[in-house]
Structure 1
Amino acid sequence: MREASERRRATSGDVAREAGVSRATVSYVLNDTPHQKISETTRRRVWEAATRLGYAPSAAARSLRKGRSDIVLGLLPDWPIEHVLGRLVQQLTGAFAEHGLTFLVHSTAQPARPVREIWKALTPAAVLALDEFPESEADAMRSAGIDVVMAVHGSRRGPSRPPLVPEEPIGAAQAAHLSASHVRLGYAFPDLPGLDVLARPRLDGVRTVCAERGLPEPDVRVVSFDPEGAVAAVKAWRAADPPVTGICAFNDAVALAVLVALRSQGLRAPADMAVIGVDDTPAAALAQPPLTTVIRDTDVLARGLARRVMDALGGGRTPVGPLRDSLRVLVRAST
C-alpha cells in the first residue's frame, strides 16, 4: 500500500498542505490568475512545494477551465520529403509555443491509426492538415467542438478550400530564373502520385511565366529515381524541337536525379542543360555541380500559419487570402 501511495500523482491539495496555503491560492498561483493579491513570498512557497512534489496540473482540468485544450493537432501526409517536413514541424512547434499552444503531429501514412481516433482522444483546439482530408471528417471535428480545421494545401475534391500556402510562386521563381538565358524549359515531375498536390501548382507557375515571356509550353517529363527513367527524360528533352536546355525540377531530389542522368550521358550542367531545384536540402550544396535551388522561408510560413489559427480561435476575422510566401533563388553552378 505504501509503495502504491508513493506512486500516486500529486494533487493541488497536496501542494496546498505542503505550502501551508489554501487550494484556491495554489490554483491562483500555478495558473497565474490575474487580479489576485498574493505576496511574492507565498507565490515562491507554492512553486517550491509543487516542484518538490512533482506536481503537474491536469491537462483535462485545464481544458475544462479554459473551454478548450491547448493542443493543435498537425496531420502529416505520406510525402517523401522528410527534410522539408521535419524543418516545418520544428518551426510550427516553436511558433505555436509562442502562443501558449502545443503542436502535436500525427502521420496519416498507413498503417497509422485512423485520424478520427486521434482527434477524439486528444480533443485538440485546432487541426492543421498539410494535405486535404474528407469534408465529412472536418464536419465531425467541428461538431465535437474543435474550433479550427484547416487544410494548408486546399482541396481538390468536394467543397473547395483555397490553399493557405500557394505553390505556384515556386515554379514561377524557377522559370523566371532560367528564362533569361533559355528559350525552352522542361519540368521534371516527381514519379510519386501523392506529391501531385504540390507538383501540379508548381508546374502551373512555370507555365504562367513561359506564357508571359513568349516561351513555348514547358516540356513535362516524369523523372523517376532509377537511372534508366531519369536518362530517358534527359534524352527526350534533348531530342525536342527546339531542344530543352533549362530544367525546373519539382524539388532538389528530382533535380539531383537529372544531374546524375546528365553525367551518365557525358553531359554537363549548365553547359548542356541547366537545372534548378527546390528546398536547399543538404545534398544540393554537395552535388556536382552544386545545385541552384529555390528556398522557402519556412519560419515565416510557420509563424503565419500559427497566427491564422490564433485569429480563428480568438473569434476574430480571419484573412481569407493565402499567406505571404517569402522565396529566394540560391544561385549555384548548375545554372
Structure 2
Amino acid sequence: MSGVSGRRRVTSGDVAREAGVSRATVSYVLNDSPRQKISETTSRRVWEAAARLGYAPSAAARSLRKGRSDIVLGLLPDWPIEHVLGRLVQQLTDAFAEHGLTFLVHSSAQPARPVREIWKALTPAAVLALDAFPESEAGAMRAAGIDVVMSVHGSLRGRRRPPLVSEEPIGAVQARHLAASHRRLGYARPDLAGLGILARPRLDGVRRVCAELGLPEPDVRTVPFDPEGAVEAVRAWRAADPPVTGICAFNDAVALSVLVALRSLGLRAPDDMAVIGVDDIPGAALAQPALTTVVRDTDALARGLARRVVDALDGGRVPVDPLQDPLRVLVRMSA
C-alpha cells in the first residue's frame, strides 16, 4: 500500500494510484456510471482502495457533475426540539436519503449564525423551512441558484399560499371528539409566542367545529408549564358561564399541565374536566389518568414533503393543496 500524507485531502488521483487504474476509471466506479462497463474485479479494487485511504468525494465536484447540490437545507424556527420535532427531523432525513439527498438542519435559536450565511455557504439544492420567512429572503435564495424554496407551516411572508401541512384539522378532530359529551369547550394554548403559527390554525379548527355544532365560542386560555399558572387557567374555565368541561390542548405537554392542575385542585379527568392532547409523546400513556391524544403519521408527512421537494427539483408540477395528514384519536382515560 502506497498511502498518502495525512496533512491533505485524499483525491481521486490517490485512489487511482492505489488501485492501479486511471482517474477516469475511479470516477466511473465511485459514481456508478451507467454508460461505462467496468469489470467486477476492477470495481472491487477501486472500492477497496478508496476505503483504505479514507477517500470522500468532494461535494463541490459532485454538485458540478450533477448540475446541482444534493443538500436540502431544513430551517427550524426557535422552537423547543422535543420528541415530535426530533422524530420528524429524523424521518425527513430518511425520506430525503431515499431520493439521494442529504437533509441538513439549521436552527434559528440564538446565538445561531444568520440564515443567509448558512445558505450562502452551502448553496443547497432546496430550502425547506418549518416557519414562514420573508419573500425577500426567498428571492435572494432563488437569485443565488436555489430553485426550490418551500415553507411547511406557513406561506412565505408577503406571498399567500396554503401551507404544505395544515394544522387546522387537528383542532377539528379534538373538538369533534369532545363535543359528543361536552357542551362548552376550552382551548389550552402554549406559553410560547413562537408556536403561534401552529396554535392559531389548531384553534381555528376548534372554533369551526364549535360553530358547526352550535356550541359557544371556545374559552381560550394560556397554560404555562408551572403549577400555579395552570391552576389559574383551570379555575377560570370552571368559573365560566356556562362552565368549560372539555379542554382541547395545543399538544400533550400542555395537556399534561392541565392534568397536573386538576389534581392540585382535587379534581379528576374526565369526570370534572376532560382533556385531549396532540402527538402521543412517551409520557402521555404514563399520565394519571392516561392522556387521550390525537396521533398524526409524521412518517407519511415526511415522505410527502420529500416527494414535493424532489418533484419541484425535477421540474414537475407540485400540488397547491396541503398534504393529506392521517389523524386518529388514541382514546385513553382523560377524555
How far apart are the structure 1 equivalents of 2:189 and 2:288? 21
What residue in structure 2 maps to residue 261 of structure 1? 261
Deviations 1:82-137 (A, max 9, x none): 11110100100000000001111000011100001101111110100000111111
Where structure 2 has 5 or more consecutive residues not aligned to the other structure, the ranges are: none
Partner residue, 1:52: 52
> What residue number does 2:71 align with?
71
Give 2:86's aligned residue: 86
Query: Structure 1 residues 3-12 or 131-140, which shifts more?
Result: 3-12
Shift of 1:41: 1.4
User: What is the TM-score of this pair, normalised by structure 1?
Assistant: 0.97
| 1:57, distance to aligned residue in structure 2 (A) | 0.9
What are the Cα deviations for residues 226-271 of structure 1, in whole angstroms up to 9, with x where unaligned? 2222111111111112111100000111111111111111110000
* 1:116-127 equivalences in 2 (<5 Å): 116-127=116-127
Q: Deviations over 1:201-228 (max 9, x none)?
A: 0000011111111211111111122222
Per-residue CA shift, 1:142-171, capped at 9, x if unaligned? 001011111101238422132100000100
Residue 129 (structure 2) aligns with: 129
Kindly indicate whether the alpha-carbon contact (under 8 Å) linking 2:72 and 2:101 is maintained by their aligned counterparts in 1. Answer: yes
Q: Does 1:281 align with 2:281?
A: yes
Alignment correspondent of 1:23: 23
Aligned twin of 2:175? 175
CA RMSD of the aligned region, Å? Answer: 1.4
Gaps of 5+ in 1: none
Q: How does 1:159-170 map to 2 (within 5 A)?
A: 159-170=159-170
Tell which deviates more after alignment, 78-87 or 132-141.
Answer: 78-87
Flag the 1:183–1:156 CA change in 2: closer, same or farther, 3 A: farther
Instruction: Name the CA distance, whole Å, in 1 between partners of 2:189 and 2:52.
Output: 58
Q: Give the match for residue 228 of structure 1.
A: 228
1:97 matched residue in structure 2: 97
Aligned AA (1:31): N
Structure 2 SS opposite 1:150: strand
**1:297-316 equivalence runs, <5 A:** 297-316=297-316
Q: What is the deviation of 1:140?
A: 0.6
The answer on whether the counterparts of 1:151 and 1:161 sit within 8 Å (CA) in structure 2 is no
How far apart are 1:4 and its partner, in Å?
Answer: 8.9
* Distance (whole Å) between structure 1 residues aligned to residue 310 and residue 6 of structure 2: 40
Write the letter of the residue equivalent to 1:120: K
- Shift of residue 9, structure 1, vs aligned partner: 2.1
Name the structure 1 match of 2:331. 331
TM-score, with normalisation over the residues of structure 2? 0.97
8 Å contact kept, 2:133–2:156: no
Partner residue in 2 for 1:294: 294
- Please name the residue that 1:205 is paired with: 205
Q: Which residue of 1 aligns with 2:145?
A: 145
Code of the residue aligned with 1:176 in structure 2: it is R
How many angstroms does 1:44 deviate by? 1.2
User: What residue in structure 1 maps to residue 62 of structure 2?
Assistant: 62
Query: Contact 1:126/1:149 (CA < 8 Å) preserved in 2?
Result: yes
Q: 2 CA distance for matches of 1:262 and 1:81?
A: 27
1:81 CA displacement:
5.0
Deviation beyond 4 Å, 4+ runs, structure 1 = none
Q: Which amino acid aligns with 1:293?
A: T
| Cα distance, 1:208–1:90 mapped onto 2, change above 3 Å | same
Residue aligned with 2:90, SS: helix
Distance in 2 separating the partners of 1:157 and 1:132: 6
2-structure distance, mates of 1:38, 1:4: 25
User: Contact 1:275–1:334 (CA<8 Å) still a contact in 2?
Assistant: yes
Task: In structure 1, give the amino acid aligned to 2:331.
Answer: V
Q: How does 1:103-114 map to 2 (within 5 A)?
A: 103-114=103-114
Shift of 1:31: 0.4
Instruction: Read off the aligned partner of 2:40 and give its amino acid letter.
Output: E
Preserved contact between residue 172 and residue 209 of structure 2 (Cα < 8 Å): yes
Identical-residue share of aligned pairs (%): 86
In 1, the alpha carbon distance for the partners of 2:74 and 2:10 equals 31
